[in-house]
Amino acid sequence: MVLEGEHPGFVTTRFEDLLNWAKKYSLFQYPFVTACCAMEFMAMACPRFDMARFGAEAPRFTPRQADLLWVVGTISQRQAPLLKRVYDQMAEPKYVLAFGTCASCGGFYDNYATLAGIDKVVPVDIYVPGCPPRPEGAIDGLLLLQDKIRAGDPKPGIVKPRIDPVDRAAQLADLRQGGPSSGRPQLDDRDWTGK
């Protein structure tokens, strides 16, 4: 807070809020990259998406110096103990971001060899869906994690799509029936069909 004038000013805050603000902008990531989502994850570090703007650029390749674990891709049953060991070695407070459908729920693999979601092994703070998720979705996940850190919210979060498909389907049904319902904003058919 900036106070103008000739007299010196002061700012008061709670220590917990100040600490959460500092944690929010100083995330040291540990990428646990195993599969095809790696290409989208690497795109986040490029100038076009520039993860450095959010205070989470510097990767650490030892878990002892990291506090944000990015699990990117498929985790097999044999990798699960290694993932747990990496998580246990991380510095407190530690956060986990499941990047992609395979890390979130096992993806399209329905077999004994693939872990059906990393939350079976480590607690997950943010789920970023997609196969693979776009870099914008991963940035949304990072921003959601920063909001959770600022608020001190322990519940897991899920990155929502920018346009909720359920709302779009309801709007399309309203258009076909010829009238609005429940005060939703109206669309024309071009928005949904691309024509």
Q: What is the average pLDDT across 153-159?
A: 78
Domain segments of the chain as ranges: 15-158, 163-195
DSSP H helical ranges for the chain:
15-24, 38-44, 80-89, 101-105, 135-151, 165-177, 189-193
**Nearest alpha carbon to residue 159 among 112, 85, 100, 74:** 100
**pLDDT band for position 3 (50/70/90)?**
low
DSSP codes joined into one string, 29-85:
EEEEE-STTHHHHHHHTSTTT-GGGGT---B-SSGGG-SEEEEES--BTTTHHHHHH
pLDDT on residue 132:
83
| Spatial separation of the C-alpha atoms in residues 78 and 65, rounded to whole Å | 25
- pLDDT (tens digit per residue) in 101-115: 888 888 787 788 888
Give, in words, the CATH class of 15-158. Answer: alpha beta
Residue 127 has pLDDT above 60, yes or no: yes
The model's pTM: 0.70
25-39, 72-86, 95-109, 137-151 — most confident range: 72-86
| pLDDT tens-digit series, residues 41-61 | 888 777 777 777 777 777 778
Pick from 185, 131, 123, 132: nearest CA to 155: 123
